[in-house]
Chains A and B, each alone.
Chain A
Amino acid sequence: MSQTISPSGHHAPQTFIRKWVFSVDHKVIGLQYLFTGIFFLLFGGVLAMLIRWQLGFPTKAVPFMGVLAPNGMPDGHMLPDYYHMLFTMHATIMIFFAVIPILVGGFGNYLVPLMIGADDMAFPKLNMASYWTYFVASAVMLFSFFVGSGAAKSGWFAYPPLSAVEATGQTYWIISLIILGASSIMGSINFITTVLNLRAPGMSLFRMPMTVWAEFVTSVLLLLALPSLTVAVACLLMDRVAGTSFFLPAGLIIGGNTLERSGGQPLLWQHLFWFFGHPEVYIVIMPAMGIVSDVISTCARRPLFGYRSMVYALWGIAGLGFIVWGHHMFVSGMNPTMGTTFMMSTVVIAVPSAIKTFNWLGTMWRGSIRFDSAMLCAAGFISMFIIGGLTGIFSAVTPVDIYIHNTYFVIGHFHFMMVGGALFGFLAGIYFWFPKMFGRLMNEPLGKIHVVITFVLFNCVFYPMFILGAAGEPRRLFDVSMYPLLHELQPIRAFMTVCALLMFAAQALFFFNFFWSLFRGKKAPSNPWESNTLEWTTTSPPPFYNYEKVPTVYRGPYEYSHPRRSIDWHPQTDPANV
């Protein structure tokens, strides 16, 4: 890098601290999000393994956990409340500290300015503040593991009255999420402003790649949905520490003690929480949808099928996403007529998801598909997104939901979205943009082996959940031996646990590939996938200011295989018509 001044006159940072710690460069902040998120992904994964161990082999001790957590797992035997803490923190960590930071903070920060031809985000310092606020929130959340009573254990959904009377870990949980809410608002405002104001000449909205669209729509969702959570947890905090009664009705007798509260309503929490919580699901999946769209079009060498309807589908999902929250509450005691309304909005939200699926398949149709690791991830994403989407219809239809509500069926359904969708989207993104981020290529054969193994084992872990759900097995049971009919199915649970442990272990292939390639991988050219979008026109990795001169955009991002061109791609910056 000979040049250290960007076209707009910013100087590249010189000191280590300014360059790698308190950086204002969107690429460095993106990587900070990415690596912090990956740390939490692994941490959340470890929690999941402990959960699976208890479910698969409830009587077998885990000796080293007896040393690490002598209170929760004396001699390695898990206690019920330790299990409850595990599933609460697994969900909290994965959703708030792993998946959103990776897909929005990580990929969003790294890619959005590059893909629209900007030299940074609109507010670089706000961007830095956003990351460090997230860092503080995650530190508070981690600290909660070390308070006397342990971390929160009333579920990530934290329904009061239980969450209002739980021990101190819950208070740290609330404080952490309030801090995280601030980080998220800073981030989403930054993304929205960047996309609206910093696009390069010629980069009209409908020339933006799907990844940018997805991050943009996701930011709008984050901005509108997260305040509802912040408000809810702030009220919950008051109920816990200040004697208010937002969510506590009169006459509660908990553990033999009468609570002197009156006037609150537990369902109010559920409305506030799910008003955030359902858009949240789309916040998680939409960036993955964007990534996968770009990967499929590039690897299939075909223009994205129905680009505009893909964009409208994103907006459709975003809009409808705000009026479906009640489907989490069909059996909560909410007015049944509301149930009907939410059922109708929920079945309708399946339509834009179906459109996206058909358009991905349409993009593969008559393509010339190169199955790189990223494309394998994308194909896996589609196949699991189909399962996750179709099983959602069961839960959406109110009479059927009566039977499967809060059973393993629901866990299966959303893990096909969260792991099959978001995790595979993350992997696709890494395999695809690793060369751009680090200037080196990942090992393709190793990548393919990793993707195939992960795909097979993933299905072995989560598919049986539908079977357990159809048998009426409630979620969140520490031990099913109370129920002989469910206990009979123990071999299935053991099988799932073994597959889960193998799947977790198989990620070593990914991390080995990642870190080995980081230092020893083959040097990457600027455009290894022969892709059209802007980020591939600059060097790998891009310089501090991204582009030597501001790029001019002449066409949409998916002009592949034009019949009158000798090569099967046509960069967005190429002024020549054909």
Chain B
Amino acid sequence: MFSKFLSGWLLSPSASSFGPKIDGLYNLILVITGIAFVLTEAALIFFSIRYRRRPGKKAYYSHGNARAEIIWTAVPTAILIYLGFMSQNLWSQLRVPKNYPKPALTIKVQAEQWLWHFRYPGPDGIFGTEDDIVVDNAFHVPVGQPVHFEISSQDVIHGFYIPALRIHQDAVPGMTSTLWVEPTHVGAYDVRCTQFCGTNHYQMKGEVTVESPDEYKAWLANAKASSTF
């Protein structure tokens, strides 16, 4: 268990098309900050030992060093701004609606204290008609196809977080937020509520099953029969 204290920094594998890109950025930051961490902490420890007070030794008198200060201002600035620009592209692919890929499926996510409703448009592909399918907490999506989510809430703010798919969006009442994901690995993954939403927040758990298109169709047909709508 405690071997995780170092290995725990590595994220468990993602199951969405952009997951590896997010993880790549995470790993890049991990390497950069790791190096910065080792260098600065090593300097701190080294200076603490090397320059501890010893009788007869006087400290060096100087008020600084302009060149050193310029270097250690410029280098972090350059690295950080580079990180910012690098991330900007990925962020706009993930978040700016006009960049979303054309969806194979749109699901409306409605949060409520303390459960998730997932509404599928049904065979006619239009929401708000009689063939809509609504399921609670557990929902399914086909693997390898872009899915859009339209997320809202009917009461307080909830957090729609599927760590394995690397997606995360607050469900805010009075507004609809959109997200997209293309799952790449079949499996069942947690939906965790991340925005504190009252007494049973800790029990507000959902589950997404990513499965082959055929299995998904079979599930949908079955769900239609038992839909709560």
When C-beta atoms are compared, the residue in chain A nearest to B58 turns out to be A561
Q: How far is the CB of A526 from chain B (nearest CB, A)?
A: 22
A368 touches B26 (CB 8 A): no
Assembly CA distance A403 to B22 (angstroms): 8
A467 touches B81 (CB 8 A): no
Q: A379 contacts the other chain (Cβ, under 8 Å)?
A: yes
When C-beta atoms are compared, the residue in chain B nearest to A391 turns out to be B33
A302 touches B40 (CB 8 A): no
1-57 of chain B: CB within 8 A of chain A:
1-2, 4-5, 8-12, 21-22, 25-26, 29-30, 32-33, 36-37, 40-41, 43-44, 47-48, 51-54, 57
Neighbouring A residues of B224 by C-beta, 8 Å: none
Q: Considering residues B62, B90, B161, B196, which has the most beta carbons from chain A within 10 angstroms of its beta carbon?
A: B196
Assembly CA distance A398 to B54 (angstroms): 48
When C-beta atoms are compared, the residue in chain B nearest to A154 turns out to be B196
Q: A45 contacts the other chain (Cβ, under 8 Å)?
A: no
Interface size on B, residues (CB 8 A): 89
14 additional contacts (CB under 8 A) given A266-B173, A344-B81, A463-B5: A265-B175, A267-B172, A305-B65, A306-B64, A331-B159, A333-B172, A347-B84, A348-B81, A354-B73, A354-B76, A358-B68, A367-B59, A467-B4, A492-B2
Task: Pick the interface stretch among B119-127, B138-146, B163-171.
Answer: B163-171
Q: How far is the CB of A302 from chain B (nearest CB, A)?
A: 5
B192 touches A355 (CB 8 A): no
Interface size on A, residues (CB 8 A): 102
B91 touches A470 (CB 8 A): no
A343 touches B84 (CB 8 A): yes
When C-beta atoms are compared, the residue in chain A nearest to B36 turns out to be A390
Assembly CA distance A393 to B83 (angstroms): 9
Q: B213 contacts the other chain (Cβ, under 8 Å)?
A: no
Neighbouring A residues of B187 by C-beta, 8 Å: none
146-197 of chain B: CB within 8 A of chain A:
154-157, 159, 161, 163, 166-170, 172-175, 177, 190, 192-197
Q: A445 contacts the other chain (Cβ, under 8 Å)?
A: no
Residue-by-residue, is A365-396 near B (CB-CB < 8 Å gives 1, otherwise 0)? Answer: 11111110000000100110011001101100
Contact residue among A264, A305, A394 (Cβ-Cβ distance under 8 Å from B26): A394
Given contact pairs A350-B76, A365-B51, A466-B8, A162 touches B91 in the complex (Cβ within 8 A)? no
Q: How far is the CB of A289 from chain B (nearest CB, A)?
A: 16
Task: Pick the interface stretch among B92-100, B101-109, B214-222.
Answer: B92-100
When C-beta atoms are compared, the residue in chain A nearest to B161 turns out to be A474
B154 touches A253 (CB 8 A): yes
Complex A-B, nearest 4 residue pairs according to Cβ-Cβ distance, in ascending order: A249-B174, A472-B163, A467-B8, A336-B95
Neighbouring A residues of B169 by C-beta, 8 Å: 331, 333
A161 touches B59 (CB 8 A): no
When C-beta atoms are compared, the residue in chain B nearest to A347 turns out to be B80
Neighbouring B residues of A467 by C-beta, 8 Å: 4-5, 8-9
Q: A476 contacts the other chain (Cβ, under 8 Å)?
A: yes
Q: A155 contacts the other chain (Cβ, under 8 Å)?
A: yes
Q: How far is the CB of A35 from chain B (nearest CB, A)?
A: 33
